[in-house]
Amino acid sequence: MRDSCFTPPHIIVALDFSDQQLALQFARQLDPQRCRLKVGKELFTRAGSQVVEQLVGSGFDLFLDLKFHDIPNTVASACAAAAELGVWMINVHALGGRRMMETARSAIEQSDHQPLLTAVTILTSMGESELHEIGLMGTPKENVMRLAALARESGMDGVVCSPREATDLWHQHGDEFCLVTPGVRPSWAARGDQIRTMTPGEACQAGASYLVIGRPIIEAPEPLEALVAIEEEIRG
């Protein structure tokens, strides 16, 4: 296990709930010392910035996963607005290109609060044939490696990638470049729509800095037991 970006807690629980009350109720069972939280498009669209502020106010490190992808000026303004919410991490799509990422970085540098800024490379739900369909030739890993290099050159703190790409990315970019990996599935959990997956233990061994885990925890009959089982697997 590596340190640097790999600062505990390593697990980021994706609060993919349709309703603010459900999300806050769920978060009350959790301890900010043991996990970070992620608010994504569904919850943010329903509940807005209020739910983010409440979770940050409860002491959680929060990843605001809105994957901005637009013209540079719009993305920069959105990043500045997200930074003002006091969150720990925000992200953009690397496919938005160098100028978009560099402008987002400048906007963060001018903010009073400076969250980590990461870039999504290729969604973990996408396989090779889907990439070819949208004109991205080569394997998912080749696309991820290319986009991660561009993201780093453009000033990103790290990338969101599949754990399957983590080892190669770690060898190429080292400890200071965060590797945030969704697509994590304990052996006992359903894969759902994720395609490029690994177990939590494998993802850590592969060099992931942070593991984003949603349904295997939030839809478990006993979510806290699921979290404990994942923590134990990572420690092992």
Q: Which residues bind ligand C5P (CB under 6 A)?
A: 14, 16, 40, 65, 120, 123-124, 160, 182, 192, 194, 212-216
**Distance separating alpha carbons of residues 92 and 18, to the nearest angstrom:** 23
| Shortest distance, position 4 Cβ to ligand C5P, whole Å | 22
| Shortest distance, position 104 Cβ to ligand C5P, whole Å | 17
Of 43 and 108, nearer to ligand C5P (C-beta) is 43
Q: Nearest to ligand C5P by Cβ — which residue?
A: 214
Q: Using the 8-state DSSP alphabet, how is residue 96 labeled? A: G
On the 0-12 / 13-18 / 19+ scale of CB atoms within 10 A, 3 is exposed
Of 72 and 200, nearer to ligand C5P (C-beta) is 200
Q: Tell me whether residue 67 is one of the annotated catalytic residues.
A: yes
Of 49 and 106, nearer to ligand C5P (C-beta) is 49
| Shortest distance, position 207 Cβ to ligand C5P, whole Å | 17
- CA distances to 49, 61, 82, 146, 210 from 10, rounded to whole Å, are 24, 11, 22, 26, 5
**Distance separating alpha carbons of residues 138 and 157, to the nearest angstrom:** 25
Structure tokens at 122: 């290729």
**Distance separating alpha carbons of residues 229 and 202, to the nearest angstrom:** 14
First-last CA distance in the chain: 11
On the 0-12 / 13-18 / 19+ scale of CB atoms within 10 A, 227 is buried
Of 106 and 231, nearer to ligand C5P (C-beta) is 231
On the 0-12 / 13-18 / 19+ scale of CB atoms within 10 A, 21 is exposed
| Shortest distance, position 110 Cβ to ligand C5P, whole Å | 26
Of 116 and 213, nearer to ligand C5P (C-beta) is 213
- Active-site pick, 38, 41, 67, 141: 67
Q: 181 phi and psi, to 5 degrees?
A: -120, 110
| Shortest distance, position 26 Cβ to ligand C5P, whole Å | 13
The residues annotated with a catalytic role in the active site are 67
